[in-house]
Amino acid sequence: MNDQVLKLENVSRIYAPGTARELQVLDQASLSVNAGEMVALMAPSGAGKSTLLHIAGLLDRPDDGEVWLGWVAMNGRSERQRTAARRSEIGFVYQFHHLLPEFTAAENVALPQMAEGRSRSEALTRAEALLAEVGLAARGDHRPAQMSGGEQQRVALARALANRPSLLLADEPTGNLDPATADQVFEVMMRVVRDSDSAALIATHNPELAARMDRIIRLDQGRITEAPRLV
């Protein structure tokens, strides 16, 4: 039996159903991601990548189909159960870092751990270790505004991994960075995901970065297709 971390089974999502603005973004989309796998999600702008990641990340529910986190079917779970699963099992990285500007890097990485019950001092100690993993040792007391875009995104990555999630979801994580910095952040992301043995589903428009992951899937007309490797 494979080590399933995420499975979407015939997932459909329709915005504004029954209105003139009705839009079917996902149409029986299916995918699975196993432990230790890094999967690139590629699609044109507006094809529904963020919608799919929101559903996979339990921030939204599909209109039809099932979402499995590990071997647990999540649609029938209460919001409280879904939030608990999201906090403990899933880490998110977005195109923009969304760090809290009034907190230091270490505090930003400590906060999700404290939400999971860790003491402030324990969370801060772990935060420093996580920041070292992403190459930001000794930068823990800097605020986001004192850091470069690539550094901010590495702090966001450390925050996403703070609770050792089984699944990392990333939506254009390097889309806001220049090519050299994007490459550097991506390298760090590959390394820490591999080291932690979590699974990752990463939406990107960048074919070179996508080609360095284990698999590429495409979202086309609301459906998922497995793409051949580009290189």
Ligand X SMILES: Nc1ncnc2c1ncn2[C@@H]1O[C@H](COP(=O)(O)OP(=O)(O)OP(=O)(O)O)[C@@H](O)[C@H]1O
Q: In what order do the strands lie in the sheet with 38-42?
A: 90-93, 167-171, 199-203, 38-42, 215-220, 223-227
Residue in the structure block whose two tokens are 């690139």: 40
Least distance (Å) between residue 177 CB and ligand X = 16
Least distance (Å) between residue 50 CB and ligand X = 3
Name which of 17 and 179 has its Cβ closer to ligand X.
17
d(CA 185, CA 151): 8
Least distance (Å) between residue 34 CB and ligand X = 24
Question: CB of 220 within 8 A of CB of 47?
Answer: yes
d(CA 97, CA 156): 6
19 touching ligand X, by CB under 6 A: no
31 touching ligand X, by CB under 6 A: no
Name which of 67 and 136 has its Cβ closer to ligand X.
67
Name which of 24 and 34 has its Cβ closer to ligand X.
24
Token pair for 141: 């007391």
d(CA 118, CA 112): 9
Least distance (Å) between residue 13 CB and ligand X = 8
15 touching ligand X, by CB under 6 A: yes
48 touching ligand X, by CB under 6 A: yes
Contact residues for ligand X (CB under 6 A)? Answer: 15-16, 23, 25, 43, 45-51
